Structure 1
Amino acid sequence: MAKGNPIEEQNTLMANGSKTDEVEQPQGFKKFLYNKEAGTVLGRTAKSWMQITVFYIIFYTLLAAFWVGCLAIFLNTLDPKVPRFYGKGTIIGVNPGLGYQPWLKENPDSTMIKFNIRDPASYEPFVKQMDSYLEKYQNTNGTRTCTGTMSNADAAEGKTEEPCLFSLSDFEKAQCSSKNGYGFKDGKPCVILSLNRLIGWRPTDFPKESVPEQVKDRYKPGSIALHCDGTNNPDKEHIGKVTYIPQSGIDGKYYPYQFMDNYHQPIAMVKFDSLPRNQVVLVECRAFALNIEHDITSRLGLVHFEMYLQDKDPKDSTTA
């Protein structure tokens, strides 16, 4: 190489630099992992690693303590027996909805009660669901028999801590119990109706002159009357005789609802005595009290389901 030639000198330096990088790069990374001369691991000495470890232990301990403290303060503001927000203006609202049983959890999207009167296996799931739902009423510990003016309002006012006992005797007398398969085997199925639990809600009575026509002959002040009918005109024609148990509906002495041990939610039953064979009937049931509004869109104060009573050979029932 001619000395003094800047182009050749630059090329030589660039070539030498490339060779040097190729040789020293792996060696530099190894020294970063462990440098014997400096006594470092990953660029830190043992003392440095100890200091940073102690720092993060203290930091995250204080952070966790701060989080636990905030959580404890928040939980201390909650009442385990009452939701923080309920009543008017909240998602819970003040208007109860109406629910029904039997509703099979195995088929949650279906509202059809379909069974074959000749095939016990077809209505066995509904009977089991009714048994399961009513099982809690067998436990009467911590409850009291409410007679006369006694009601759950006594518990709400702090006079007692025991809820009113809800008896199933009326349903047994009306042949709506486990003993007779809740009427399914006779083609007269019984359906449970109940209101959603709303803290502090109790029914408001209709004035005598404004009781709805559908329940006028069965209405009892202080209770929630129920009425079931066909959803459409053809269904109204075919739904047949309907029996309400009890006649006056859900007794108001079981309100207002509040958190109590072994609280028995009040229910009523509707017995369909003369359903048509092999025909689907769309049913709409409504609850009546002055402070219950009916809204089809949001299903407030009412519920829809379908009844389908089959009467055919079990071998052919699966095809319908």
Structure 2
Amino acid sequence: MAKDSEKKTCGQVMDEWKEFFWNPRTHEFLGRTASSWGLILLFYLIFYICLAGMFALTMYVMLLTLDDYNPTYRDRLATPGMMIQPKGKALEIVYNIEDTESWDMYVHSLNTFLSTYNDSHQALSNKECTPNELFTQADSGDIKNNPKRSCQFNRTILEACSGLTDPYYGYDVGKPCVLVKLNRVIGMLPGKNNQSPNVTCKVKKDNENAVRELSFYPPDAAFNIMYFPYYGKKSQVNYSQPLVAVKFQNISVNTDVSVECKINSEAIANPTSERDKFAGRVSFKLRINQKV
């Protein structure tokens, strides 16, 4: 144990720290001379420049392998996902017929979503295709056939769910419309032997009798194969996803109704996993409240 006489005073400690920061005799700053600091800073400068150069070169080589119009690597799902419009909160469409504000947001959502499907907009942007035929647009070797055309999907195809004849999509009278769409997958051919995949909807077992009549638009409830294959957002800038509208003509009020819509096609694998609730199907809850 050091004796009290050997202990350094506060002034001595401060002097040692001052000398460490700057030693006027040796001209050292933090224990190094100017030349020593210069050499070490030069070393790290060259080191980080080389490191940045290697990173830039790696990124450049990687970017050379990418195609601006088609992903080089992608996980192709055996069964594409499905979604509805309007989505509501957590795929729940709940409203009160007497309360206009409760269903106005669904009407507004459908109007916004369908605005690009107006016939006039489709006529200007897209091509009138031949139904039941794949709209294939192959490239000529290394020459890309871009931008690629897209087929028209006119809003009028949805008839009673187009928002043109009924601006409220049936929500004001308890006969709501729900739009079903298939998620985009580049290069997917959902049809087989010129057969377009179609959509079927059913009420889950809890309330099988809650829905007594469904109407589909187009009437065959199909995604016509003329809208496939899809070539990507950059290749087909004006691509319009085909839609199927489901109108609930006769549904029990004040009841939670669980509905499941799914895609049916020989070219698409049937959903096999209960973990992915959106693979080839979509489930949502519909509840219409009304004073009795």
State the TM-score, normalized to the length of structure 2: 0.84
Distance 2:201 2:10 in 1: 88
Percent identity, please: 28
Counterpart in the other structure of 1:124: 104
Question: Which residues in structure 2 correspond to 1:91-240 (within 5 Å)?
Answer: 92-104=76-88, 107=89, 110-138=90-118, 139-140=121-122, 142-147=125-130, 151-154=134-137, 161-171=148-158, 173-177=159-163, 179-205=166-192, 221-232=194-205, 234-240=206-212
User: Highest Rg: 1 or 2?
Assistant: 1
Counterpart in the other structure of 1:257: 230
Question: Which residues in structure 2 correspond to 1:45-56 (within 5 Å)?
Answer: 45-56=33-44
Number of corresponding residues: 277
SS in 1 for 2:168: helix
Work out whether residues 155 and 163 of structure 1, in 8 Å CA contact, stay in contact via their aligned partners in 2.
Answer: no
SS in 1 for 2:256: strand
Q: Which shows bigger deviation, 197-206 or 22-31? A: 22-31
Work out whether residues 197 and 263 of structure 2, in 8 Å CA contact, stay in contact via their aligned partners in 1.
Answer: yes
Residue 123 of structure 1 deviates from its aligned partner by 0.5
Distance 1:100 1:243 in 2: 16
Residue 183 of structure 1 deviates from its aligned partner by 1.5
- Partner letter of residue 144 of structure 1? K
Distance 1:16 1:154 in 2: 93
Counterpart in the other structure of 2:24: 36
Distance 1:201 1:20 in 2: 81
String of CA shifts for 1:83-136, please: whole Å, max 9, x gaps.
3333xxx4x4121122211113xx3xx222111111110101111221222233
Q: Residues 15 and 230 (structure 1 numbering): CA distance in 2 closer, same or farther, change over 3 Å?
A: closer
Gap runs ≥5 in structure 1: 1-10, 207-220, 314-320
Gap runs ≥5 in structure 2: none
Counterpart in the other structure of 2:53: 65
Distance 1:112 1:78 in 2: 40
- Partner letter of residue 163 of structure 2? S
Work out whether residues 161 and 217 of structure 2, in 8 Å CA contact, stay in contact via their aligned partners in 1.
Answer: no
Q: Residues 44 and 243 (structure 1 numbering): CA distance in 2 closer, same or farther, change over 3 Å?
A: same
Which of 285, 288, 291 lines up with 1:309 in the alignment? 288
SS in 1 for 2:267: coil
- Partner letter of residue 126 of structure 2? T
String of CA shifts for 1:33-55, please: whole Å, max 9, x gaps.
11111111112222222222222
Q: Residues 45 and 244 (structure 1 numbering): CA distance in 2 closer, same or farther, change over 3 Å?
A: same
State the TM-score, normalized to the length of structure 1: 0.77
Residue 146 of structure 1 deviates from its aligned partner by 0.9
SS in 2 for 1:193: strand
Work out whether residues 188 and 272 of structure 1, in 8 Å CA contact, stay in contact via their aligned partners in 2.
Answer: yes
Q: Which shows bigger deviation, 243-252 or 160-169? A: 160-169
- Partner letter of residue 97 of structure 1? G
